[in-house]
Amino acid sequence: MLSIRLSRVGKKKSPSYRLIVTEKTRDPWGKFLENLGTLDPLAKPKKIAFDVERIKYWMSKGAQPTPTVRNLLIDMKEIEGEKVKAHPTHKAKAEEK
Does the structure show a pLDDT above 80 at 94?
A: no
pLDDT of 91 over the 70 cut: no
Helix, strand and coil percent figures for the chain, each rounded to 5: 25, 30, 45
* Single-letter residue type at 17: Y
Which residues have C-beta within 8 Å of that of residue 49, sequence separation ≥ 6? 37, 38, 39
Average pLDDT for 3-19: 93
Beta strands, E only, the chain = 2-9, 16-23, 34-40, 47-50, 64-65
pLDDT at 30 exceeding the cut of 90: no
pLDDT at 7 over 90: yes
| pLDDT tens per residue, range 53-81 | 999 999 999 999 999 999 999 999 988 88
